[in-house]
Structures are given as C-alpha cells and as structure tokens.
Amino acid sequence: MTPARTGRHDREQIIGVALELLDRYGLPDLTMRRLATELEVQASALYWHFDSKQDLLSAVSNRILAGIPEPTPGEDLLDAAHAVRDALLSYRDGAEVVMSSAALRPGPSRAEDALRAALSPTLPDAGLAATAVLQFILGHTTLVQQRMHGESYGAASSTGALDRGGHDAAVFDAGITLLSRGADLTSTPR
C-alpha cells in the first residue's frame, strides 16, 4: 500500500515504498528512477535522504532484517536460522538485497546477533561462527528465491526443480545442523 502523496517524504516512507517496489518488480527493476516516479518526485530528491542506491539498499536490508525477533540467549540455532530465513523470504529478492549489503558493508547485523545468541556461549568465536551460518542462510535462501522466480516465469515448473516444502527445507535443516555440530566441536577442548 503506497502512502498518501504529501509532496514531502521522509526516509522511513521511502524505504517502505522501495520494499513495495521490490515485491512488485524485484531487485533488478528497483531503480532510483522507478522509486522517484512512484513517489512523484525527481530522482535527485531521493539523494537528500540517501547518499547512493547502495545506501538505500542498505536501509532496505535493515528493514528486512527487522522482521527477525529479538535474539534469545540459548535459543536453538535451527530456530534462529529459520527466523532469519523467514525474514529474508518475506520480500521478493530479500536474500539478494541483504547479501549485497553484507558484501559491501560487512559488520554485525540483526541476523548475526540472533545467530550469535543461539550459538553456545562457550564458543571461542561466536561472531565468526554466526557469520558463517549467515552466509550459508543467504546462499541457500538466494537459491530458493531464484527457483521461485524461475517457477513464476515458467522456467522451473517443467523440470520440477522447485521443491520449497520438501527437499529445499531438508537441505536447509541439514546444513544448519551440520554447522551447529561443527560449532559444538570447536567449543570443546582438544
């Protein structure tokens, strides 16, 4: 739902409209020009709020990750990983947006905080482990979203490649379980 046109827009409203456009058209077609047209402003007006398109995408990424519940210490890693994946899947190309922001602006994020909280407190470098788990989640979710796009365009439906509820979910759970076991191994003295 596009906000009422007031002639003036704030940063949060622009991010909201960008998310709507992301859902409607996907990341390749989320341009500053399209966003400006939707807001009925000149594209240059967006640069009052954002230094660049990447700055906008970083803000969009943060909004996507805001859907992750507050980290719970001791939470099961698989549950935390599902919460991150669910937030990424809540928007078309959500994983790709978050991945591009993480690649260009590395550092802790709400997703890493949730994963770090779920990892064993005795883990020597929970931050490093959380980053590794997040990178698996981003890669897996991007693959699933690409398959979803393929299906929507008819490219995946004829091959039966899309299996969101079955095989892909089992692969995700297996990957997180393996990463969790590896983390447990690194936390025990040798």
Whole-number pLDDT of residue 89: 95
- 56 and 36 within one domain: yes
Whole-number pLDDT of residue 149: 76
- 33 and 124 within one domain: no
Whole-number pLDDT of residue 147: 85
Whole-number pLDDT of residue 17: 97
Whole-number pLDDT of residue 56: 95
- 47 and 96 within one domain: no
Please state, as a whole number, how many other Cβ atoms lie within 10 Å of the Cβ of residue 50: 20
pLDDT in tens, 121-151: 667 788 889 999 999 999 999 999 988 877 7
Q: Do the Cβ atoms of 140 and 170 come closer than 8 Å?
A: no
Q: Is residue 31 part of a domain?
A: yes
Please state, as a whole number, how many other Cβ atoms lie within 10 Å of the Cβ of residue 171: 14
Q: Is residue 119 part of a domain?
A: yes
- 164 and 108 within one domain: yes
Q: What range defines the domain where residue 22 resides?
A: 11-60
How far is 182 from 51, CA to CA, in rounded Å? 40
Whole-number pLDDT of residue 11: 94
Q: Which residues of the chain have pLDDT under 50?
A: 1-5, 158-159, 188-190
How far is 170 from 63, CA to CA, in rounded Å? 28
Q: Is residue 65 part of a domain?
A: no
How far is 89 from 141, CA to CA, in rounded Å? 7
Q: Is residue 5 part of a domain?
A: no
Q: Do the Cβ atoms of 65 and 74 come closer than 8 Å?
A: no
Q: Is residue 3 part of a domain?
A: no
Task: Classify residue 55 by burial, with Cβ atoms within 10 Å: 0-12, 13-18, 19+.
Answer: middle
How far is 115 from 133, CA to CA, in rounded Å? 8
Q: Is residue 4 part of a domain?
A: no
Whole-number pLDDT of residue 58: 94
Note the helical H segments in the chain. 11-25, 32-39, 43-46, 53-65, 77-89, 94-104, 110-118, 126-152, 167-187
For the chain, the domain total comes to 2
- 127 and 86 within one domain: yes
Report the CATH number that the domain containing residue 149 is assigned in CATH.
1.10.357.10
